[in-house]
Structure 1
Amino acid sequence: MQKTLLSGVAALIVPTLAFAAVPAKVADDIFLDHPSMDRNAAVMPAADAKPVKTVFDARSIGDASMARLPGGGWILTGTTLRNGDRHGVELWTSPDGRNWKNLGPARITGPGIVPGDVAERYIAPSVTVAKDRLYLAFADKSGCARIATGSAASPQGAFTASPCLVDGAEDVSLFIDQDGTGYLLWGGGMIVKLAPGYAGLAETPRFLKPDQALFAKHPPVGKDWPVRTRVGRRGAMMLRDDDRYLLAASEVTGRLRTATEDVFVAEGPTPYGPFSMRMLVAPHAGKPSIFRLDDGTLATVYNPRCEDDFALFCEQVGLLPLERAPDGRLRQAASVITEDSAVASRHPLVTSETIRDPSVTLGGDGNYYLAGTLGGFGKQRPDGGVKLWRSADLEHWEDIGFVFHWEGMGYDFKDHVAELWAPEIHWSARDKTYYLAFSVMERGVGGKTWLYRSTSGKPEGPYANTAKSFLVEGIDGFPFEDEDGFYLLWGGGRIGKLNAARGGFDGPVRKLVDVDGDAVGYEGNALIKVGGVYFLTGAEWNGPLRTDGTYDMMYASSKTLMGPYSQRRIGAPHGGHGTPFRDKEGRYWYTMFGNDVTAPWRMHFGLVPIDIGDPEAIGVPRLEASGK
């Protein structure tokens, strides 16, 4: 950092962004606690947010644990990796958070411990400072949890280790409450109260997890929010924040389709709970090490693993400030960015109303046109319809109003709740006009897709149905033109060639899949052709469905329209259901609306730059290349 660690963190703390209003009407209660709601956000970066910076890179370490020393300065430990000594508990101290002094392996003595024994390999040790004492918690080479006590004023001095407290322990930490009571924590949430002096147990260990009374009402089918059985998988630790006890642990969930080890927290009124549902607090941060800064705010170390494809760095240590959202939720501060992708530094372009499933086309008049799902999760019939926005530069968007209002559909909705979803706007140079494909989801019935054409050749319409009723059963219609004709893609990969009237199909309907037979996204498919290669994109939830997972753009490529397509891969993190397109300058973009808790915004239209440099690959630039 540019300043001392303490003053740098204080400068990073900024007010939390205000929450957007929850849509007034929601047809399905599965959306009431959807991650796209601001109240569930783990990430809401401010306009001037900066990437987390390393504060320690003198040695490759994992499982970093950091604490403030009473006279000022910092102490750090962790699992030593790669080169150099790897035995014992290695310590570093710093007066300012920039310049670190290696104290070497701590001088620990105790039953069965031989000082300097290189066979004593300690994994994930932790540091705790309480008044004038410095405590090291660790599991020795036999798996016994121990606590070594030393002087906070002389961290380079001797430490006296306790006898074996718990056998078969991993990721050991010590929590000392305000009254001096000590608690040993380990694994994903084991806890036991310690006897005075922390050299023995005062009770039988127990496992901490969210209060099961919170799950009395089962969530809707297919919705796994929230996790019932744990706060995390490893690195359990505890901290007191005023009258609340924070239980933290980390877990690799498969979010972003990579090894993101995130920090989760639950809160309770006592060290034993009852605890709240878990919250994702620190993306990519690794094993938790949360502590209080001198200004009273909380922070945790940021120490990602190298298997995490979207971490800013790995096996080094950064400092991630935390903050309270308006409703009290703990999350990463709005002043920082924790993900290394251009997506993380982008911001929405239209915020006047919510937009999901955005579609952009470059029109025949040289302007860009935007459409998307309105009203949060879709306007209910007879409200709304399809609205367009226009832009000449992809930055400034003008609302040009509704161009379709539930007209000429040739279908009786009876009294069913019906929502209009995922309108796609498409300019056809071949037909010299615009097309609208949109879906309607009927509660208890399912989804259907219509195709409309502008009879004036103008984006404003008027638009007329190309068929007598809906064109296909299924949702997420996407018009695509190739040299040999006009196609409609919909429903998780189905595709058919439209006839000349665009009201039906010439030939069979096929389904596009990757070489493993998997759909390239379960919804929101789109196609773009670049340099003779077809790129099939689609939306997929990676990690916990509709909880702490990510709604990403997946893609696969092929040299022929019908395939075979390559194995699906992640293209644009958080991109989900969007549209790839080429702008007037030859750059490629993907539309995005923000549908998961770690997306940089929620339910608003934005654009993400994508690279199609490799003839058969799509990716997003790294953070440094994003222009932010």
Structure 2
Amino acid sequence: MTVKMKSWITGLTLAALSLAPSAGAQQKLKAAVADDIFADHPSMDKNATVMPAADAKPVAPVFSERPIGDASVARLTGGGWILTGTQLRSGARHGVELWTSADGKAWKGLGPAKISGAGIVPGDVSERYLAPSVTVAGDKLYLAFSDKTGCARIATGSAAQPGAGFAASPCLVEDASDVALFVDKDGTGYLLWGGGTIAKLHPGFAKLAEAPRFLKPDQALFAKHPPVGKDWPVRTRVGMRGAAMVRDGDRYILAASEVTGRMRTATEDLFVAEAPTPYGPFTMRALAVPHAGRGSLVMLDDERLAAVYNPKCDDGFAMFCEQVGLVPLERAPDGRLRQAASVITEDSAVAARKALITSETMRDPSVTLGGDGFYYLVGTLDGYGYHKPDGGVKLWRSADLKKWDEVGFVWKWEGMGYDFGKNIAELWAPEIMWSARDKTYYLAFSVMEKGVGGKTWLYRSTTGKADGPYENVTKSFFVKGIDGFPFEDDDGLYFLWGGGSIGKLNGARSGFEGPVHTLVDADGDHVGYEGNGLIKANGVYFLTGAEWHGPLRTHGTYDMMYGTSKSLFGPYTQRRMGAPHGGHGTAFRDKQGRYWYTMFGNDPTAPWRMQFGLVPIDIGDAASIGIPRSDSVRD
């Protein structure tokens, strides 16, 4: 039986599962695109790991009696729960400590389990067991652990009397870590350790019944090469540590965790793969629960599955650390397991926010506060950009940053002075800016020409109104490269593009006055490889840009980075994270003096994908851009 899409409540007060979005809600792809890396881009809803519902709630601890890591949870046969894990800092740290709960709220500590066996001295404080796991099968309660010599062992006790004694097996495997036990429905036991090594056990679980083997995705799934520019999917493993297995109907689910560098911090995420047998062939690995910590799954009954959420404190975006929660899982439309829509697992203001325009897709959003007191918005439309001669640059207007009214197209492939021939030309990254000096609006946009590359144009409103009409400031494209950004400083107008190129515009705004500079950080690196923008606050320049972290275009994050300088041309401070999932956007100041960053969602763990939204930011301190904590999902 598979995991069902229905609401449920357990003794651990888990949130209800929510239905995945219908196929009709998925973003469409045009038959031909300027870059085939978009053929299976992470910004598509079908690739989402996170799809929070409107009423989604943060995952909450169900166990906080003491700091614990590598948590393992099991359901007792007669009802109630049992939990163990690596004991951290305070209190006793030897043996395998157990806690039980009848309702998932109040926990009773049983102390270190009474384990006996060859080489084990009961009560010996030198017996430091890391990452023990607990398994219930019938009337038996099993503890799997690696002893102080590094030997994997299984201790057998009574599920009805978890506080009674356990008899430990001899050494099953030497030099093992993250030991777990999986017992199939027919009573066959399998020992797992590390990131995915498995071996069947003899009845009684006192020795291995076969040579160990390592579980990994079916290599036949990698016969088709991914497009150039897209990261190679991981083919050699499901995860790096904490391998665990459960059975869901006729499918075997292998879970393991890995730190990938997503969000530019130590996010340890839970990955899963599935197979018709304990040995495979396994699917490609899928990111199931961000920030979950060491991999562990628990079947609540024959139909309901949850992941243990037990992050380390190294993860700056986890909801909590060294406590234990449970995250309900659901099936995506393609059958892939992921966290349920009812729960939020990331602690950031970004994770809790919602898209503001959902009527159509949008990427690379740009907002400016106009001279008339209204806010104006443009962005990349029609999925991954209109193809010439379709569409153009469309404008929205708002008085309060909440309600946005569509004004319509303000530019449609006119006055470009350039012949694309029969090449596919895709319209990207329009940017709008009100110039108080010139008392008019500027519109920059890029066109990616397949097989040729990108070019950027600069247009100016001839009426001083945001809806134009707009005229080209020169006879053709303005610069080679993409992501143009007009910026007004005290001494004139500048144009920023590419990965940090900048030049001062001449009086006619038709070219550059003086040399073109390249903006870099203190290490000589770009602040963002694309989507650069500038804002000035209290005499300090903030240079923003987009960067991928972790597995690019698979399970990575598309984040907004920034650096600061008291000089426009820098050098800028070493680049830092500004807004997770923010990527290519625009920072701006509103009428009340608050700062915002535009966001569209470009990765599978963003709270939405390819729609316009706003993220509040703190800006003005020469040292940092930050997300206001008052907007955290904790509050």
- TM-score interval for Structure 1 and Structure 2 normalised by the shorter chain: over 0.9
Change (3 A) 1:524 1:291: same
Residue among 8, 13, 16 paired with 2:20: 16
The one-letter code matched in structure 2 to 1:119 is: S
- Distance, in Å, in 2 between the alignment partners of 1:519 and 1:93 is 52
> Whole-Å Cα distance in 2 between the matches of residues 328 and 416 of structure 1?
38
Say which of 418, 421, 426 aligns to 1:414. 421
Considering only aligned residues, what root-mean-square deviation do their CA atoms show, in Å?
1.4
Query: After the TM superposition, which residues 59-98 of structure 1 pair with which residues of structure 2 at under 5 Å, given as runs?
Result: 59-98=66-105
Match of 2:252 in 1: 245
Tell me, yes or no, if structure 1 residue 565 matches structure 2 residue 569. Answer: no
2:101 & 2:28 partners in 1: Cα distance?
46
Kindly provide the amino acid, as one letter, of the partner of residue 314 in structure 2.
E
Q: SS of 1:214's equivalent?
A: helix
After TM superposition, the structure 1 = structure 2 runs for residues 273-422 of structure 1, keeping only pairs within 5 Å, are 273-294=280-301, 296-422=303-429
Q: Structure 2: which amino acid aligns with 1:251?
A: E
| Whole-angstrom CA distance in 2 between matches of 1:624 and 1:169 | 43
Matches of 1:525 and 1:385 in 2, distance apart?
22
Instruction: State the distance in 2 between where 1:14 and 1:373 align.
Output: 30
Give the distance between the partners of 2:629 and 2:287, measured in 1 at CA.
23
Shift in Å at residue 502 of structure 1? 1.0
- CA separation in 2, counterparts of 1:26 and 1:39? 19
Deviating beyond 6 angstroms after TM superposition, the runs of 4 or more aligned structure 1 residues are: none
- Pair 1:189-2:185 in alignment: no
Question: Would you say the 8 A contact 1:54–1:316 is kept in 2?
Answer: yes
**Cα distance in 2 between the residues matched to 1:610 and 1:515:** 23
2:600 counterpart (570, 593, 616): 593
Alignment-derived partner of residue 143 in structure 1: 150
For 1:6, what is the secondary structure of its paired residue? coil
Give the letter for the 1:14 counterpart.
S
Residues in 1 aligned to 2:351 and 2:415: alpha-carbon distance in whole angstroms: 42
CA distance in 1, matches of 2:355, 2:420: 34
Q: Equivalents in 1 of 2:554, 2:110: separation in Å?
A: 42
Q: 1:58 aligns with which of 57, 62, 65?
A: 65
- The answer to whether the 8 Å contact 1:17/1:334 transfers is no
Deviations along 1:93-139, whole A, 9 cap, x unmatched? 11111111111110001111111111111000000011111100001
Q: 1:383 to 1:5 in 2, by over 3 A?
A: closer
Aligned partner of 1:580 in structure 2 is 587
Whether the 8 Å contact between 1:26 and 1:377 is mirrored in structure 2 is no
Aligned residue identity for 1:180:
G
User: In 2, distance between residues paired with 1:96 and 1:569?
Assistant: 44
Query: Could you say if the C-alpha distance between residues 627 and 235 of structure 1 is closer, same or farther in structure 2, counting changes exceeding 3 Å?
Result: closer
Deviation at 1:611?
A: 1.1
Cα distance per residue 1:362-382 (max 9 Å; x no partner): 111111111000111111111
Corresponding residue to 1:487 among 488, 494, 500: 494
Query: Partner residue of 1:6?
Result: 10
After TM superposition, give the deviation of residue 615 of structure 1 in Å: 3.4
2:278 equivalent in structure 1: 271
Partner of 1:213: 220
Change (3 A) 1:626 1:128: closer
Say whether 1:451 aligns with 2:455: no
TM-score, L = length of structure 1: 0.98
Structure-2 separation of matches of 1:626 and 1:387? 33
Q: Deviations over 1:183-240 (max 9, x none)?
A: 1111111011111111111111001111111111111123224211111100001111
Q: What per-residue deviation string (whole Å, max 9, x for no partner) do you get for residues 249-291 of structure 1?
A: 0000000000000000011111111111110001001012211
CA distance, structure 2, for counterparts of residue 80 and residue 207 of structure 1: 28
Of 229, 234, 243, which aligns to 1:236?
Answer: 243
Letter in 1 for 2:16: L
Structure 2 counterpart of 1:621: 628
How big is the shift at 1:25?
A: 3.7
Deviation at 1:13, TM superposition (A): 2.0
Alpha-carbon offset, residue 294 of structure 1: 3.9
Question: Are 1:17 and 1:46, in contact at CA under 8 Å, matched by a contact in 2?
Answer: no
Q: Deviations over 1:310-329 (max 9, x none)?
A: 11111111111111122211
AA at the equivalent of 1:442: E
Contact 1:64 1:317 in 2 (8 A): yes
Residue from 603, 610, 614 that aligns with 1:603: 610
1:527 corresponds to 2:534 = yes
Contact 1:237 1:288 in 2 (8 A): yes
Total equivalences in the alignment: 625
SS of 1:452 mapped into structure 2: strand
Which residue identity is paired with 1:185?
L
SS at 1:55 equivalent: coil
Cα deviation 1:470-489 (Å, max 9, x = unaligned): 11000000000000110000
Contact 1:26/1:32 (<8 A) preserved: no
Give the whole-Å Cα distance in 1 for the aligned partners of 2:259 and 2:32: 32
Q: Does 2:209 correspond to 1:202? A: yes
Alignment of 1:113 onto 2:117: no
Query: Which residue identity does 1:532 align to in structure 2?
Result: G
| 1:37 to 1:202, Cα distance in 2 relative to 1, 3 A | same
Q: CA deviation at 1:9?
A: 4.2
Percent identical: 74
| Runs (5+) with no aligned partner, structure 1 | none
Structure 2 regions of 5+ residues with no counterpart?
Answer: 1-7
Distance in structure 1 (CA, Å) of the matches to 2:276 and 2:505: 62
Deviation at 1:20, TM superposition (A): 2.1
- Alpha-carbon deviation of 1:295? 7.4
For normalisation by structure 2, the TM-score amounts to: 0.97
Match of 1:226 in 2: 233
